[in-house]
Amino acid sequence: MVAFEQTSIDRVKSYWDARPCNIRHSTAPIGTRQYFDEVEDRKYFVEPHIPEFAEFGRWAGKKVLEIGCGIGTDTMNFARAGALVTAVDLSAESVNIARQRAEVFGLSDQIEFHVADAETLASVVPPAKYDLVYSFGVIHHTPHPERVIEQIKTNFLAPGGTLKLMVYNRFSWKVFWILTTYGKGAFWKMDELIARHSEAQTGCPVTYSYTPKTLTELIGDGFEVEDVRIDHIFPYKIEQYTQYQYEKTWYFKPLPQPVFRALERKAGWHLCMTARATD
């Protein structure tokens, strides 16, 4: 077991500042409308389950706290739907780009941005009760995810409010692929291998992975789990994908779409949980 809890938050910050998530989803100049449109199109083409999970339209007129906004793709869609959004990320580079994005689309008055460590969020973001706390693919990259959950419970989620989390699924096709491709079956190095190869840029300092049971244990008391779903297998050849071409890997090519979708729901990389605060 890799001791991720010993990893410094500065090391995590440096990793994400060096290459913000989805930064290469477009070849257009960063900061332009074309760039942001292409980033969004590509993100939701590859991960089409996100809008359904986020339920953007449900939060019109509501207060949304997004922990780990990255360069702001989901952030913009919450704001477009009419939510009042507080968007937080550890990476100052990511937040700067997200701010530009809000300006380009005329959404700055609906979004408040902060650069902050989610483990100590209340030291930067004033405690307030939000209708939704949303964090997609983020808390598994911090050394102490349990501290983020405690921040949410104590300072930011209204009674009856909704928590939506996506973390990585431990028993997934992606983990199997990492173990066979890079680990040569060295399952005893699973945590180290998952972290190293979990993202487009290798060497991520921290990547935890979960099962529905361990994720439920992580959020702990004070929540009623309303939905748990597994989704997303990346089917494309990486070399072609980096050239903005979408050619499926040979073993996925012959699968009918219904069969592939069934496989995603059993062995997808994204473990998505919706829970309601009961306290």
Q: What is the pLDDT of residues 74-84, one digit of tens each?
A: 999 999 999 99
Q: Which of 53-57, 153-157, 181-185 has the lowest mean pLDDT?
A: 181-185
- Measure the CA–CA gap between 214 and 217, rounded to whole angstroms: 5
Distance CA 192, CA 135 (A): 23
pLDDT in tens, 87-104: 999 999 999 999 999 999
Closest CA to 198 of 208, 189, 188: 208
What rounded mean pLDDT belongs to the chain? 96
Residue 126 included in any domain: yes
Q: Kindly state whether residue 86 falls inside one of the protein's structural domains.
A: yes
For the stretch 227-248, pLDDT in tens is 999 999 999 999 999 999 999 9
Does residue 115 sit within a domain?
yes
Answer whether residue 247 is part of any domain.
Answer: no
Structural domain span for residue 108: 4-169+204-233+268-277
Q: Residue 240: phi, psi to the nearest 5? A: -70, -35
pLDDT in the model for residue 186: 80
Asked if residues 162 and 225 have their Cβ atoms less than 8 Å apart, the reply is no
Q: Is 121 within the bounds of a domain?
A: yes
Inside any domain, residue 8: yes
Number of domains, the chain: 1
What does the pLDDT look like over 92-142, one tens digit per residue? 999 999 999 999 999 999 999 999 999 999 999 999 999 999 999 999 999
Quick one: pLDDT at residue 157? 97
Among residues 147, 197, 149, the alpha carbon closest in space to that of 172 is found at 197
CB distance 66 to 87 below 8 Å? yes
Q: How far is CA 131 from CA 60, 204, 214, 233, 251, in A?
A: 11, 31, 25, 30, 43
CATH number at residue 45: 3.40.50.150
pLDDT by residue (tens digit) across 169-190? 999 999 999 999 998 878 889 9
Domain assignment present for 113: yes
Using the predicted structure, report yes or no on whether residue 39 has a pLDDT greater than 60: yes
Task: Work out the pLDDT band at 29, boundaries 50, 70, 90.
Answer: very high
- Average pLDDT score over residue span 205-231: 97
Confidence of residue 2 (pLDDT cuts 50, 70, 90): low
Is residue 208 in some structural domain?
yes
Q: Give me the pLDDT at residue 217, please.
A: 97
